[in-house]
């Protein structure tokens, strides 16, 4: 079952938050916990994976393989449900009561926000291999066939006449990672803070609409055919190009951010629902050779170095910078750049 979270883009933030939470909690409030069946029948467990916008296809494939493997290994039948939306919006929904067993969100920021509310243990990042990263990603460009605007690098995005599609950095992981990438493309190549402010100010003047999440931005660019370039997750970019059948092309800029979509158990929920064993096995499956191959198939960079090397032709090399190269850490980057009163708030005025 795939649950897609929707919200009213014209309402206020508080109204949207309330509506989202009411919708999801109401729909999933009766989500079954682990339960034994009478007569010695197989145990059944339901898990909810709350994820960010463009991971639907990845986790659908992982779910199918995990369900079969886990039943064979343990005798337990697992039903997996997915919820997708802008990463920050998804984190807020979990904080407000959405009973996720696991979260597979866009970055440390959103998972740690849930941890700070007591639902995830403070040392969550060390619970799984590779700092709870079964895969990494980055932000690249998608352009129209023939690349008519000649877009090859970040400075090209602010050429006169170029329209840029990117989601809202205040609600979307893709959105804030694109902002961080744009900022880093300036300050890590010799530019000053003032240069970076000038650059992002012009960049967002050339964004005709800010969708709330990555998949919404994809729809705007691909289906509505708005914009000349889409700043997309690497996996989403490949999916767009494949489905466009020659109408779109990939462009890898020389530099972009190393995106880290951590995964975590929601301890407060799994302990209450008695689903910890299955939830832990589920996330660990993403680290198996089979899970890593599925990640690569969907254009996520596996953290298993041998499997990543095997797929080197799929993942071109570029300068992937760490968040610590432009800020102290992710929370500091969020506060500086996209938090309340941060750089984005000072440079962006919504289109009338």
Q: Give buried/exposed letters for 240-270 (b at 16+ CB in 10 A, else e).
A: bbeeeeeebbbbbbebbbbbbbbbbbbbbbb
Query: pLDDT tens, position by position, for the chain (352 residues)?
Result: 334 444 333 344 444 444 444 444 444 443 445 555 554 456 999 999 999 988 999 999 999 999 999 999 999 999 999 999 989 999 999 999 999 999 999 989 999 999 999 999 999 999 999 999 999 999 999 999 999 999 999 999 999 999 999 999 998 899 999 999 999 999 999 999 999 999 999 999 999 999 998 899 999 999 999 999 999 999 999 999 999 999 999 999 999 999 999 999 999 999 999 999 999 999 999 999 999 999 999 999 999 999 999 999 999 999 999 999 999 999 999 999 999 999 999 999 887 6
CB 7 within 8 A of CB 89: yes
Taking CA 340 as the corner, what is the angle to CA 197 and CA 200, rounded to the nearest 5 degrees?
Answer: 20
CB 71 within 8 A of CB 78: yes
Q: In sequence order, which ranges of the chain are alpha helices (DSSP H)?
A: 13-28, 56-74, 87-95, 108-116, 129-132, 173-187, 193-205, 214-218, 234-244, 267-273, 276-285, 289-297, 305-310, 330-333, 343-347
In angstroms, rounded to a whole number, what is the distance separating the alpha carbons of residues 260 and 258? 6
CB 253 within 8 A of CB 321: no
Q: What is the pLDDT of residue 319?
A: 97
In the chain, where the domains are located: 44-133+260-287, 137-259+315-347
CATH number, domain 44-133+260-287: 3.40.190.10
Q: What is the pLDDT of residue 350?
A: 82
In angstroms, rounded to a whole number, what is the distance separating the alpha carbons of residues 319 and 323? 13
User: What are residue 82's DSSP bridge partners?
Assistant: 2, 49
Q: In angstroms, what is the C-alpha Rg of the chain?
A: 20
Q: What is the pLDDT of residue 34?
A: 53
In angstroms, rounded to a whole number, what is the distance separating the alpha carbons of residues 152 and 330? 27
CA distances from 104 to 56, 200, 250 (A): 11, 28, 26
Cα-to-chain-centroid distance, residue 85? 9
In angstroms, rounded to a whole number, what is the distance separating the alpha carbons of residues 84 and 98? 12
CATH number, domain 137-259+315-347: 3.40.190.10
Indicate if the alpha-carbon torsion angle 122, 263, 134, 138 is positive or negative. negative
Closest CA to 173 of 252, 231, 96: 231
CA distances from 247 to 143, 196, 217, 230 (A): 9, 32, 17, 13
Q: What is the pLDDT of residue 53?
A: 86
Q: What is the pLDDT of residue 351?
A: 72
Identical fold at 44-133+260-287 and 137-259+315-347? yes
């Amino acid at each position: 079952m795939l649950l897609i979270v929707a919200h009213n883009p014209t309402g206020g933030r508080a109204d949207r938050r309330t509506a989202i939470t009411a919708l999801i909690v109401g729909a999933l409030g009766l989500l079954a916990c682990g339960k034994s069946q009478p007569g010695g029948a197989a145990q059944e467990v339901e898990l909810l994976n709350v994820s960010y916008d463009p991971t639907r296809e990845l986790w659908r494939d992982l779910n199918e393989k995990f369900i079969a493997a886990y039943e064979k290994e343990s005798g337990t039948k697992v039903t997996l449900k997915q919820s997708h939306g802008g990463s920050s919006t998804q984190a807020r929904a979990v904080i407000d009561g959405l009973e996720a067993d696991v979260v597979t969100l866009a970055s440390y920021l959103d998972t740690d926000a849930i941890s700070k509310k007591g639902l995830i243990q403070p040392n969550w990042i060390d619970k799984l291999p590779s700092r709870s990263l079964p895969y990494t990603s980055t932000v690249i460009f998608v352009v129209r066939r023939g690349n008519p605007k000649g877009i090859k690098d970040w400075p090209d995005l602010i050429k006169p006449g170029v329209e840029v599609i990117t989601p809202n950095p205040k609600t979307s992981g893709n959105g804030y990672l694109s902002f961080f990438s744009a900022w880093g493309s300036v300050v890590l190549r010799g530019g000053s803070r003032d240069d970076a402010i000038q650059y992002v100010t012009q960049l967002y003047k050339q964004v005709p609409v800010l969708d709330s999440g990555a998949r919404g931005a994809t729809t705007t660019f691909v289906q509505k055919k708005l914009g000349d370039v889409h700043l997309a997750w690497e996996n989403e970019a490949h999916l767009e190009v494949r489905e466009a059948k020659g109408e779109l092309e990939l462009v890898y800029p020389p530099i972009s951010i190393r995106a880290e979509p951590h995964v975590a158990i929601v301890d407060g929920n799994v302990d209450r629902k008695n689903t910890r064993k299955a939830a832990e096995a589920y996330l660990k499956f993403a680290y198996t050779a089979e899970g890593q191959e599925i990640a690569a198939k969907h254009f996520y960079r596996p953290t298993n170095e041998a499997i990543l090397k095997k797929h080197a032709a799929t993942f071109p090399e570029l300068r992937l910078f760490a968040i610590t190269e432009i800020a102290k850490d992710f929370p500091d980057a969020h506060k500086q750049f996209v938090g309340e009163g941060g750089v984005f708030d000072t440079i962006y005025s919504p289109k009338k």
